[in-house]
Amino acid sequence: MTVKNEENEGNFNTEEAEYSDLYPSRKKSQNKVSTWFDKITFNKERESYQKLRCEINVFQCMKNSPLMKLLLGALKSSGCEVELGRHISCEVCDEVVTGGYDPETNQIIICQNTANSRNRVHSTLSHEMIHMFDYCRNKLDLQNLNHLACTEIRAANQCHCSFLGAWIQGTASPFNIKKAHQNCVIDKAVRSVIAITNISKEEATEAVMQVFNKCYNDLEPIGRRLRRNSLDMEKAYYDGMYYGYIN
């Protein structure tokens, strides 16, 4: 569920990555009062500016990105229509993540403080919408470790690793690109599982590997691994029409 903030690679501390810690705005009993520190440092103003910028980025992604339109169409045709105001929320999060999916409220969280560019909002949104799709259509149970591993594999596979391109991470040549892509997906999924569950790296890797083949090859609803600087996103969008995802 969690999209990790790549800028904070070194600071990542799984001990602190409890769900309620990652998304402080979600703490149920929270009743935030402005402190004198907030007032003199313009924290409130900064937060409302970040929120507005985040909401504009979300709106622009939804309106202009063929991938977003495909995912929105797939959700709608599966009976889970997305309303921006109801299902997507810009919030302040822990610095280690850029977004998350909260199944309790069926909401995607975009972290207004860390997902601070249109590209970051786009990649976070697409990742979280795969979880939303799995929750809607595949009866995702996030308490089940195999389910969680599977949806993280699918999100990394179809979004994060495709867009980054494994070659950018400096490990791949044209000869081992497939292996590098798989390694990217495993690595990303393991990190996400650890961030959410707080289990050890060994346990998370075992859970990911148990379901890897099945979930890596399940490319619904995008239908292909999207490559950077290609027309894949547009092709997937037009294919979506044939599957009834787009009217």
1 binds Zn ion per the rule CB under 5 A:
yes
Closer residue to Zn ion, CB minimum distance, 1 or 74: 1
Element (H, E) at 184: helix 177-197
By beta carbon distance, the residue nearest Zn ion is: 1
- DSSP-assigned letter for residue 152: H
Closer residue to Zn ion, CB minimum distance, 177 or 209: 209
Stretch that binds Zn ion, among 32-40, 153-161, 202-210, 221-229 (CB under 5 A): 153-161
Edge-first strand order for the sheet with 3-4 is: 3-4, 97-102, 107-111, 88-91
The residue within the footprint of Zn ion, chosen from 182, 192, 197, 205 (CB under 5 A), is 192
Annotated catalytic residue: which of 15, 47, 95, 128?
128
By CB under 5 A, the count of residues binding Zn ion is 4
Q: Say how far apart CA 124 and CA 161 lie, in whole Å.
A: 12
Q: Say how far apart CA 153 and CA 103 lie, in whole Å.
A: 18
Stretch that binds Zn ion, among 91-99, 118-126, 184-192, 199-207 (CB under 5 A): 184-192
Closer residue to Zn ion, CB minimum distance, 98 or 246: 98
178: left (phi over 0), alpha (psi -120 to 50) or beta: alpha
Binding site for Zn ion (CB under 5 A): 1, 152, 155, 192
